[in-house]
A and B are shown apart, each in its own frame.
Chain A
């Protein structure tokens, strides 16, 4: 009886696990089988890419941390000023924008036909061509990672009890001392976690580096995998590069895990105390610089998307754009649905294993499956599946379903992170009661779990939707000229220097993503869960 009642979650979870594991295995086998003999790997080239990847990821992380911390301090010193809400919204917006949209913003401002060039030409200064390469990559990464860091730091700074500042004021502490004694420890506490995440994101960065890198001199491993497959059809090299990337990421995750420190639960003060350093000269000067840097790196590129997008909107009625919008929706909706169903099944399975004391040790398995997906480069996953599909049928007939599958899998860890804790909570609180009442299966999901899980699930769905809607790599791979999504179209228009036409598309993607993000937040979800 008990076994029968418990079957659905185990069945669904087992199926999800088999699907996830199966797809990853098929992709790996596909890639390796297509490789044939052991590939000749130009290690000098791999070393070069690795060195560049580490360089740009380190610099990107440093810039994001410093700029993020400066912005957070500036905002923390000024708890109320007109437009503060707008600044916070802008920071939120920036870090959920898909990379393709960020690319557009950066090119529109700093590119060769961009605002900066227009201004410098008008003034008679020749800036030359400087964006493509390391500078473009760093700016592109800072656009969304600096706001992410700023939000993390600001949350920590705002949690400082008012008592601390009252005490600081009574002791007559100078701004320098306040920074050293109150702010710095907090920033240092948060930096490893936020920095580790940013480093990982920049290390595996794909569209930004592809579009703003400007050639083979600037490539990440992810880009090199893409090149190996798309330019040379060299699966062996792709498999080797993917392995190198997976190993590097594993090492990074290990290092980040040892560095991360959980904040002690401190009592939050009952009142807000204005910071005594809000009006001092030095902090003011630093804050002004931070504000200007934030304006240049984050606000103007993001605003450029809206500013150049709106006038171009009438041209959105272009048949090509409408087709691409439909294609994007057709891919993103089922992908988000797939990710949600898989996450729900895996979470239910994990709970089943843990709470019913069947195999608590194995309860980690679903989470590990999701983690494994995070490590696999999407392009390698796509390529492996492509090869496997090729053996059976025409892979292009399977283009759309394969894009949905890969995007759904890529989004799975993000949804699982949201869904698993409330599922476990629901089980811990009401599991026995539900068992006693004989509520099982879908009824249990509806009656017992839904109240706790509905909001995080919706938020997860929105996150998955935004991810799939902004995807460039997977769609570019499988679509190969026939299935054109909005990000692919945007990338094409950017490539042919039709900035005005790209503007409206960027705006459209940005609006949809932001709407999904707002929905996610409205429906309740942690802020940081939106990125990784």
Chain B
């Protein structure tokens, strides 16, 4: 029996077949492995500002690759908090060999996740303000959180944290989300230290001045530069960037007599790393001159293992806080969730 053959169904069927084939082929293309690498690849997760055009990542990659015979690949997330969440999401399946950009406030939680391995390095020549005991993480830089302003825009900056909090119609602020960002968490802890039980009230007073809460530091600082607010939560050392890279003297960190919270940024090796030896090599490199000398004028922070004499003069000229806070990682780990939830309730309500 012959069937009448109308061209239409055939055409339709052929086009469906073509579509399926094309779709599958394209799918295979996307899912296929990346081009073969002959060198081992060290994957380092970090926050987006670190390997950006203005960050120290480029220099560090160049210097490390010159001695490791490997390829260093940066993979970025918004900020330190997101980094940790990302690693927890990925668990043992993570591609990361090293996670760089957590801080002491997240260290307790990161350690408890069981995703990090011991670094096995005895660090020498550390120049951080505390004694280092962690066997899982190593510090790579540090600084004080501070609100930064431009004196051409803000002529009468607050002289104390109390003035910042209480001042009616005071300067507009850009801050970061404590869930995703280490500076954001730092501010939360800073207010917690200064105000204790009354920190909720302090946040309620700050809220109307806050223009927006960003996911990460880079976004907030970018907005500050664009003129979106009078002050941005950043670091006491941030003005050095404007002096050295832009020859601008107008940027300052407001130094508060109540004291400033210290941040020590750290990195650790993942347990899931395929390349633990290479990762360890990177950790050792991290506290050597090759890495450390890129920090002051790259990440605009105080290096964790470089004598003060090697810092650019602009750093020495920066006014320093008279008092510092730094909570024990365990204390932060135990209270972080409750403090953040209280903040969310105060801020979101």
Contacts and interface: CB of A to CB of B under 8 A. Distances in A.
Interface in A418-454: 446-447, 450, 454
B244 interface: no
Given A214-B212, A215-B177, A219-B348, A233 B89 contact: yes
B213 A42 contact: no
B22 interface: yes
A217 B346 CA distance: 9
A45 interface: yes
B168 interface: no
A447 B8 CA distance: 11
Given A337-B23, A497-B226, A216 B31 contact: no
Contacts of A334: 23-24, 26-27
Contacts of A219: 348
A454 B92 CA distance: 46
B348 A233 contact: no
Majority DSSP secondary structure for residues of B touching A: helix
Chain B interface size, as a band, is 35 or more
Nearest to B222: A497
Contacts, number: 126
A50 to B, nearest CB: 11
B201 interface: no
Contacts of B245: none
B80 to A, nearest CB: 11
Interface residues of A, number: 51
A132 B212 contact: yes
Interface string B203-233: 0000100111111001100110010110000
B180 A217 contact: no
Contacts of B226: 112-113, 497
B179 A231 contact: yes
B44 interface: no
Interface string A114-155: 000000000000000100100000000000000000000000
A482 B73 CA distance: 12
Contact of B177 (A44, A231, A480): A231
B265 to A, nearest CB: 19
B95 interface: yes
A394 B93 contact: yes
B30 interface: yes
A231 B87 CA distance: 11
Contacts of A337: 19-20, 23
Contacts of A62: none
A457 to B, nearest CB: 10
A386 interface: yes
Given A214-B213, A227-B179, A337-B20, A496 B222 contact: yes
The 7 A-B residue pairs with the shortest CB-CB distance, nearest first, are A215-B213, A233-B88, A42-B341, A233-B85, A44-B345, A334-B23, A231-B179
26 contacts: A40-B341, A44-B349, A48-B345, A112-B228, A129-B228, A132-B212, A216-B344, A216-B348, A217-B207, A229-B89, A230-B82, A233-B89, A330-B26, A330-B29, A331-B30, A334-B24, A334-B26, A337-B19, A337-B20, A394-B95, A396-B93, A398-B31, A401-B27, A401-B31, A446-B12, A454-B12
Interface of B: 9, 12-13, 19-20, 22-24, 26-27, 29-31, 75-77, 81-82, 84-86, 88-93, 95, 177, 179-180, 207, 210-215, 218-219, 222-223, 226, 228-229, 337, 341, 344-345, 347-349
